[in-house]
């Protein structure tokens, strides 16, 4: 399958479920997420942060990407400074979407 993107969204711990739920409502087919730890400029300035983050991966078809991205940005509370980060990466080659499998 061509024209696919990976949306990676790093949000405050506990927000990952909401990000996924909202993304699926607007057309995402599924997601993978896990918990990680992060650091940043605030920590180096001596400002206390909560290092645990939810990290969400969603693969989209090209035409879905913008609407899924916007839903993740909003549901992750990313319009507020210091709440997380979301970005899109072009996928060069992939296999595993339902359309990739032939019926036997």
Mean pLDDT by 10 residues, the chain (104 residues): 89 96 96 90 73 95 95 96 93 78 59
* Whole-Å CA distances, 34 to 10, 12, 20, 57, 102: 10, 12, 12, 9, 30
pLDDT for the residue 15: 96
DSSP 98: G
- At the top level of CATH, the class of 4-92 is alpha beta
Q: With DSSP H G I counted as helix, E B as strand and the rest as coil, what are the percentages for the chain, rounded to 5?
A: 30, 30, 40
pLDDT for the residue 26: 97
| Neighbour-count burial of 81, counting CB atoms closer than 10 A to its CB (0-12 exposed, 13-18 middle, 19+ buried) | exposed
CA dist., res. 7 & res. 56, Å (int): 8
Rounded to two decimals, what is the model's pTM?
A: 0.86
pLDDT for the residue 31: 96
pLDDT for the residue 78: 96
pLDDT for the residue 98: 63
Domain boundary assignment for the chain: 4-92
pLDDT for the residue 65: 97
pLDDT for the residue 95: 82
pLDDT for the residue 51: 83
Q: Name the strands in the sheet holding 84-91, side by side, starting at the edge strand that comes first in the sequence.
A: 32-37, 52-61, 4-12, 84-91
């Amino acid at each position: 399958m061509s024209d696919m993107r990976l949306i990676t969204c790093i949000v405050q711990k506990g927000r990952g479920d909401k990000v996924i739920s909202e993304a699926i409502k607007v057309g995402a087919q599924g997601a993978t997420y896990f918990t990680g730890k992060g650091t940043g400029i605030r920590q180096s300035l001596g400002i206390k942060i909560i290092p645990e983050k939810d990290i969400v991966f969603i693969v989209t078809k090209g035409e879905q990407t913008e609407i899924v991205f916007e839903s993740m940005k909003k549901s992750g509370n990313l319009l507020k400074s210091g709440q997380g980060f979301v970005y899109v990466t072009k996928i060069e080659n992939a296999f595993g979407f339902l359309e990739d499998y032939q019926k036997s």
